[in-house]
Chains A and B, each alone.
Chain A
Amino acid sequence: MRFTFDGADYDARPGDTLAAALLRNKIHLMGRSFKYHRPRGVLASGAEEPNALVEIDRGGARRTPNLRATVVEVFDGMVARSQNRTPSLRFDIGAVNDLLAPFLPAGFYYKTFMWPVGAWARLYEPMIRRAAGLGRAPELADTDRYTQRFAHCDVLVIGSGPAGLAAATEAAATGIRVILCDEQAAFGGSLLSDPSEALATQLAALFANPRVTMLSRTTAFGIYGDNLVGLAERVTDHLPDPHPALPRERLWQVRAKRIVVAAGAIERPLVFPGNDRPGIMLGDAARIFARRYGANPGTNAVVVTACDTGADVARDLAASGIVIARLVDLREGFRVTGTHGRLRVSSIEIDRGGTRETIACDFVAMCGGWTPSIHLYSQAGGKPRFDPGIGAFVPGTEVTGLTCVGACAGDMPPAYRAGVAPVNAEGRAFVDWQNDVTAKDLKLATREGFRSIEHVKRYTTTGMATDQGKTSNINALGIVAGALGATIPEIGLTTFRTPYTPVTFGTLAGLSRGDLFDPVRTTPMHEWEMARGAVFEDVGAWKRARYYPRQGEDMHTAVARECRLVRDTVGMFDASTLGKIEVVGPDAAEFMNRVYINAWTKLAPGRCRYGVMLGENGFVMDDGVVGRLAQDRFHVTTTTGGAARVLAFMEDYRQTEWPELRVWLTSATEQWAVIAVQGPRARDVLMPLVDGQDISAVAMPHMSVVEGTMLGIEMRLFRVSFSGELGFEVNVPADYGHAIWEAIWDRVQVYEGGAYGTEAMHVLRAEKGFIIVGQETDGTVTPDDVGLGWAIGKAKKDFIGKRSLTRSGMTGPRRQLVGLRTDDPATVLEEGAQITATIEDRRPLGHVTSAYGGTTVGHSIALAMIEDGRARVGATLQVRMPNGAIPVHVTAPVFYDPEGARLDA
């Protein structure tokens, strides 16, 4: 296999990671560090790698930054590039930062880039982001496909090393459903360095078991409530030419009765001056590269160790043909005092009792002990405890439904139990490779007063970024504890958060992109409205036609024309989005009495009433016309946005407070298409369509309802008006909505009428002073505040919210609904603008709630909520507009047909 790295062509073997292939090609320099742009090689061999971050470019939008070279699988023709360097990895001008290091200690940007304030966003932040950083984000939209699966199992085993394999095999033997996942391409974990017949047999048995699901290249990145585990499966990234039907990645949401975490342990680096040069790596990583991949990291090694695994590493490296220049055991009094080599380590300096020695080498293996991977255990709510023998945290408290096994449970051979390794913090001794945090930075943070490890982390950034401190956290804790004279358990541990390793947005989003991102609700007339060029607005999830511009019309002109149509002849309006609830049962009227402020008992079948609903706190929550269809049946309408909330509110009281009432509630919002026909010609339009139904003013007065048919289709016809004109609302089953709309449209054409949208509807209702809940009201408004005190059923002993209307503060001076007029009839006030008594007085008396130009009354209008507003009618106040205050005259909130004569036409 061939691949390129920074344009140069290299060989790879099947099964290689990019890091292994580069090492076999004697390439150690793989990246530049985040802050100082120091040359870096690989530190580790797996998911914990902090340094070797690369970009894989598959062309076009398929360019992925910040991938760990130790995880990326090489395929034939792969194009890989290093990051965070200009112009090249070998010569990077950003490395000047390293010379400035004495001036760039922990938290330097909190101290340095303070002034002037405005320079932060324009100058400092963009500069810092360019200079310090990771890869380049892709610029094109992701063209790949991602899928999601849900799965259930009895046991989910995470990790396929010896402990995980044993757990999976044991569980599978009992015939239960098992899922075994591993982040690597192959199963076996640490066994992969010594592949055996036994491993092959064990894996074959698991693969052959139909009750076992084997997921490789699959990272368990997070544990959520009640054993829900998120798995990210990389399906095609390792393939040179993936089948187009395959998704790039797959998110598994697994609900497991039992989780077995067999995540293993991560080796710790040693902290000494110059420990970050390319060629200085973890001992186990060196061993894995040499034995599993046949990619010796060099020919002449120094092994530095704080525990007995050093001898094992030296032996295994020697067995791979590597000369061991020296095994330096820190427990024998040695200290590492420095290293040399610009782009790769060439020698290491050690010291014992003042005797210095420089040893030439071409790589260094560090054995600093092992840290159990308790990330998932901790995410699941487990409280870890510190194990001084291991020198790290291990699972402490029990977690229901979760077991840790193997090294992540602290179950490791004595040689691996290294305790806390000694630190030489002189010079540039790195603790966190990815964030360029040195031991000195951590000590500085403690000197500057940071005590909590959480604060030290935020100040120094240790343990942050893509590797989340997998190799650095324990060393950082030890240094902070030492500086504060405390123990590691006293310092505590930073929180383990999801995800364990980075997960792509694509995997999390799955199919929820573009049109599938958010559901859209459309009415039966939507296609018609689209065809007529309607401009839509979003109301909740609904798409509503806002206005229907004709050629050359802007919104203002179109809305003004639509308003005129309704006033002069007839307009039709798609009101299908109105919430509709069928309230049915022998106790329906009693239920309505309790829920609404209005009185319902005496409302005769065939009549309607404008209903107002309060919260228990006495404030207006929703409104809408209610028709009584029969003694035991009400057709309730709600605001478009309030439908679900109102039904849930009613259900709550029905189920929990008044279970004795025989009443049932059914949402009918989507069942009925609603066509409002409004205007002086509304009756003429409908007359021939209603199959002989008498809809004369006598038979069907304002606020009445009949059930009949329209062109043979079931119909509920309401005579109601939200425009102030003679008006009807035709309800027909949704499936017939479009056909009936077309039939009415033909009739409307006879009278030179037309369709109008929500904007004209708003203007028309505002001219009449009809409120919109959520526009005039804001959850602090009583019925009386908006002039609806008349609607309260005075004889009723109780209804929801009644008691609150007499609480203190509810009856004193309150903001009330009024109208506002400007001197210039063309001036349209700003909705939300504050209102004061005079220009000098800055105390707000209230605010503008609705304001419109293009009205049918010859001047702009506004509604406002103003303190003691009704007593101020006739007064002049000031509205604080963006360009200064302008005077307004307070009026009654009704600008058109105040007597309501047109409603009764």
Chain B
Amino acid sequence: MKLIPCPICGERAEIEFTYGGQAGLTRPADPAATTEAEWGAFLYARENPKGMHRERWRHIHGCGQFFNLTRDTVTDRFIP
């Protein structure tokens, strides 16, 4: 079981966390102004890199906070 560095609580076991998907997505400020394709991409298009992946985690069984981490999907290790 991996250790995940929570920025508030420190390193904790993976079992305390939930995965939150790709980081850096921002909900459009005015969804009604988005095109069909833009909104579709916001809903469904996600990166699936072999290598560095910026992603969200939530320390749900701890402080409850969402935070971002970079993980190398090849080695399954977090990159500080």
Binding site for B on A (CB under 8 A): 224-226, 228, 255, 381, 400, 616-617, 648, 651-652, 655-657, 797-798, 802-804, 807-808
B60 CB within 8 Å of chain A: yes
B10 CB within 8 Å of chain A: no
Is B1's CB under 8 angstroms from A808's CB? no
Is A804's CB under 8 angstroms from B3's CB? no
Is B31's CB under 8 angstroms from A648's CB? no
A151–B64 alpha-carbon span in the complex (Å): 26
Q: Taking the nearest CB of chain A, how far is it from the CB of B27, in angstroms?
A: 5
Is B1's CB under 8 angstroms from A807's CB? no
A-B pair number, CB within 8 angstroms: 50
Per DSSP, are chain A's interface residues mostly helix, strand or loop, or mixed? mixed
- Residues from 43 to 76 in B contacting A, C-beta threshold 8 Å: 43, 56, 58, 60, 64-66, 75-76
Is A655's CB under 8 angstroms from B66's CB? yes
Is A617's CB under 8 angstroms from B66's CB? no
A651–B3 alpha-carbon span in the complex (Å): 23
Which residue of the partner chain B has the closest CB to A644? B60
0/1 string, B20-34, CB within 8 A of A gives 1: 100000111011101
B16 CB within 8 Å of chain A: no
- Known pairs A225-B14, A652-B20, A655-B65; A804 contacts B43 (CB<8 A): yes
A616–B42 alpha-carbon span in the complex (Å): 10
Is B34's CB under 8 angstroms from A226's CB? no
- Max chain A C-beta neighbours (<10 A), residue from B2, B27, B76: B27
- Known pairs A224-B1, A225-B14, A652-B66; A807 contacts B58 (CB<8 A): no
Interface pairs (28), CB distance under 8 Å: A224-B1, A225-B1, A225-B3, A225-B76, A255-B3, A381-B75, A400-B77, A616-B42, A616-B43, A617-B43, A648-B18, A648-B58, A648-B60, A652-B58, A652-B66, A656-B56, A656-B66, A657-B27, A797-B30, A797-B32, A798-B30, A798-B32, A803-B31, A803-B32, A803-B34, A803-B39, A804-B39, A807-B36
Per DSSP, are chain B's interface residues mostly helix, strand or loop, or mixed? mixed
Q: Taking the nearest CB of chain A, how far is it from the CB of B5, in angstroms?
A: 10
- Known pairs A381-B75, A657-B27, A802-B31; A808 contacts B36 (CB<8 A): yes
Q: Which 8 A-B pairs have the closest CB atoms?
A: A803-B31, A225-B2, A226-B3, A655-B66, A226-B2, A657-B27, A228-B1, A656-B66
Q: Taking the nearest CB of chain B, how far is it from the CB of A403, in angstroms?
A: 18
A211–B30 alpha-carbon span in the complex (Å): 61
| Contact of A226 (CB < 8 Å), options: B1, B20, B56 | B1
A249–B56 alpha-carbon span in the complex (Å): 39
B40 CB within 8 Å of chain A: yes
Which residue of the partner chain B has the closest CB to A618? B43
A224–B3 alpha-carbon span in the complex (Å): 11
A655–B68 alpha-carbon span in the complex (Å): 12
Q: Taking the nearest CB of chain B, how far is it from the CB of A798, in angstroms?
A: 6
Query: Chain B contacts of A798 at CB under 8 A?
Result: 30-32
Binding site for A on B (CB under 8 A): 1-3, 14, 18, 20, 26-28, 30-32, 34, 36, 39-40, 42-43, 56, 58, 60, 64-66, 75-77
Which residue of the partner chain A has the closest CB to B2? A225
Query: Chain A contacts of B26 at CB under 8 A?
Result: 657
Query: Chain B contacts of A803 at CB under 8 A?
Result: 28, 31-32, 34, 39
A161–B69 alpha-carbon span in the complex (Å): 41
Query: Chain A contacts of B39 at CB under 8 A?
Result: 803-804, 807
Query: Chain A contacts of B66 at CB under 8 A?
Result: 651-652, 655-656
A617–B39 alpha-carbon span in the complex (Å): 10
Query: Chain A contacts of B76 at CB under 8 A?
Result: 225
A808–B36 alpha-carbon span in the complex (Å): 8
Give 15 A-B pairs besides A225-B1, A225-B2 with Cβ atoms closer than 8 angstroms.
A224-B1, A616-B42, A651-B58, A651-B64, A652-B66, A655-B66, A657-B26, A657-B27, A797-B32, A798-B31, A798-B32, A803-B28, A804-B43, A807-B36, A807-B39
A616–B31 alpha-carbon span in the complex (Å): 11
Which residue of the partner chain A has the closest CB to B42? A616
Query: Chain A contacts of B34 at CB under 8 A?
Result: 803
A656–B77 alpha-carbon span in the complex (Å): 24
Which residue of the partner chain A has the closest CB to B31? A803
Query: Chain A contacts of B1 at CB under 8 A?
Result: 224-226, 228
Q: Taking the nearest CB of chain B, how far is it from the CB of A657, in angstroms?
A: 5
A154–B65 alpha-carbon span in the complex (Å): 29
Q: Taking the nearest CB of chain B, how far is it from the CB of A401, in angstroms?
A: 11
Query: Chain B contacts of A802 at CB under 8 A?
Result: 31-32
Query: Chain A contacts of B31 at CB under 8 A?
Result: 798, 802-803
Query: Chain B contacts of A225 at CB under 8 A?
Result: 1-3, 14, 76
Which residue of the partner chain A has the closest CB to B38? A803
A808–B39 alpha-carbon span in the complex (Å): 12
Q: Taking the nearest CB of chain B, how far is it from the CB of A472, in angstroms?
A: 30
Q: Taking the nearest CB of chain B, how far is it from the CB of A149, in angstroms?
A: 15
A427–B47 alpha-carbon span in the complex (Å): 55
- Max chain B C-beta neighbours (<10 A), residue from A657, A798, A802: A798
Query: Chain B contacts of A655 at CB under 8 A?
Result: 65-66
Which residue of the partner chain B has the closest CB to A654? B66
Query: Chain B contacts of A616 at CB under 8 A?
Result: 27, 42-43
Query: Chain B contacts of A797 at CB under 8 A?
Result: 30, 32
A226–B13 alpha-carbon span in the complex (Å): 10
Q: Taking the nearest CB of chain A, how far is it from the CB of B33, in angstroms?
A: 9
Q: Taking the nearest CB of chain B, how far is it from the CB of A594, in angstroms?
A: 10
A655–B30 alpha-carbon span in the complex (Å): 19
Which residue of the partner chain A has the closest CB to B23? A656
Q: Taking the nearest CB of chain B, how far is it from the CB of A600, in angstroms?
A: 19
Q: Taking the nearest CB of chain A, how far is it from the CB of B30, in angstroms?
A: 7
Which residue of the partner chain B has the closest CB to A657? B27
A797–B33 alpha-carbon span in the complex (Å): 11
Which residue of the partner chain B has the closest CB to A226? B3
- Max chain A C-beta neighbours (<10 A), residue from B3, B34, B65: B3
A891–B63 alpha-carbon span in the complex (Å): 50
A418–B42 alpha-carbon span in the complex (Å): 60
- Max chain B C-beta neighbours (<10 A), residue from A224, A226, A798, A808: A226
A782–B77 alpha-carbon span in the complex (Å): 40
Which residue of the partner chain A has the closest CB to B68? A656
Q: Taking the nearest CB of chain A, how far is it from the CB of B39, in angstroms?
A: 5
Which residue of the partner chain B has the closest CB to A803? B31
Q: Taking the nearest CB of chain A, how far is it from the CB of B48, in angstroms?
A: 19
A256–B26 alpha-carbon span in the complex (Å): 39
Q: Taking the nearest CB of chain A, how far is it from the CB of B36, in angstroms?
A: 6
Q: Taking the nearest CB of chain B, how far is it from the CB of A170, in angstroms?
A: 26
Q: Taking the nearest CB of chain A, how far is it from the CB of B8, in angstroms?
A: 12
Q: Taking the nearest CB of chain B, how far is it from the CB of A599, in angstroms?
A: 17
Q: Taking the nearest CB of chain A, how far is it from the CB of B14, in angstroms?
A: 7
Query: Chain A contacts of B65 at CB under 8 A?
Result: 655
